[in-house]
Amino acid sequence: MLNIAVSETYLEYVLEQLAPLGQIKSRRMFGGVGIYIGDLFFALIANNALYFKVDDSNRADYLEYSMKPFRPFKNKKASLQYYEVPADVLEDRDLVQKWAQKAIDVASRAAAKK
């Protein structure tokens, strides 16, 4: 498994950027951090990188920036349906909130299917 430590400074910055969306919560897990709005898991942080949940509705946004999916195991091709958020998107508060809302919508649709 990768070293997926998250610094407190980076976590605080991400939470600050996402705060206008509503009740954003974080929960440490397996060395990384899960990001929730209410009880809906829509993002994660690993190794000081933010990843949003994706499906066919928003994957192209990430591919346009040549971003890669989150791979929790270094030597395995398996990936989760989370893609890294580009640094310039994270730094633009309005834009990162738009991308986050898309990830929230993806997570909401996935939860409704269960």
- Note whether residue 1 is domain-resident: no
What is the total count of domains within the chain? 1
List pLDDT tens digits, range 62-99.
999 999 998 876 666 555 799 999 999 999 999 999 99
**Local structure of residue 22 (DSSP, 8 states):** S
- Note whether residue 3 is domain-resident: no
72 near 80, Cβ under 8 Å?
yes
Burial class of residue 34 in the structure, from the number of CB atoms within 10 Å of its CB (0-12 exposed, 13-18 middle, 19+ buried) = middle
The predicted pLDDT at position 2 comes to 46
Q: Which domain holds residue 12?
A: 8-113
Closest by CA position to 38, among listed 104, 97, 93, 83: 104
CA 37 distance to own-chain centroid = 12
CATH number of the domain bearing residue 83: 3.30.1460.30
List pLDDT tens digits, range 9-24.
999 999 999 999 999 9
List pLDDT tens digits, range 48-72.
999 999 999 999 999 999 999 988 7
In this prediction the pTM is: 0.90
